[in-house]
Amino acid sequence: MAFPFRSLLFATALGFVAGCASPSSRIEKKQSAFNTWPADVQEKVRAGKIEVGFNQEMVAVALGQPDRTATRTTAQGTAEVWIYFDRGPKFSIGLGVGSSSRHSAYGGGVVVGDNGFRDDEFMRVIFNAGRVVAIEMRR
């Protein structure tokens, strides 16, 4: 019984750590490229911010890989769209009551996590020829 619980706990902790990647950990992985970027770009990337003109590598280091990608086709051509979702914690509270042949049980709990996949889009980054041409933010 303890083995499945430990495995579940380990998998949860691993998922939490993987989801908490920061710009500094991504910079470390791309240090040689980061060192070639202008100082103002480095400062923005360190802060997890992007701007029009950034290339895809700069955006990936600042924000991480997108949660979803799409293409946008207009009269001006086709653009690549990187879509990011809000990964902030969500809280759930539950209460359970049970009874079976003269025995009763009560339980409750609080869950902190992302509750699985949510379509909680908060940013779209639009690229044309590998450069950011537009940034759309949800209000």
pTM of the model: 0.66
> Residue 139 — pLDDT band, cuts 50, 70, 90?
confident
Q: Count how many Cα atoms sit within 13 Å of the Cα of residue 26 in the half-sphere of its side chain.
A: 20
Strand partners, 123: 84, 137
| Residues in Cβ contact with 38 at an 8 Å cutoff, skipping those fewer than 6 apart | none
Helix (H, G, I), strand (E, B) or coil at 139: coil
The model's pLDDT over 16-65, given as tens digits with 9 standing for 90+, comes to 444 458 999 999 999 999 999 999 999 999 999 999 999 999 999 999 99
CA-based nearest residue to 49, from 23, 31, 88, 26? 23
Task: Report domain extents, the chain.
Answer: 23-137
Would you state the pLDDT for residue 100? 65
The model's pLDDT over 68-101, given as tens digits with 9 standing for 90+, comes to 999 999 998 999 999 999 876 655 666 666 666 6
Helix (H, G, I), strand (E, B) or coil at 94: strand
Whether the CB-CB separation of 63 and 127 falls below 8 Å is answered with no
Q: Count how many Cα atoms sit within 13 Å of the Cα of residue 126 in the half-sphere of its side chain.
A: 12
CA-based nearest residue to 58, from 4, 135, 2, 137? 135
Helix (H, G, I), strand (E, B) or coil at 131: strand
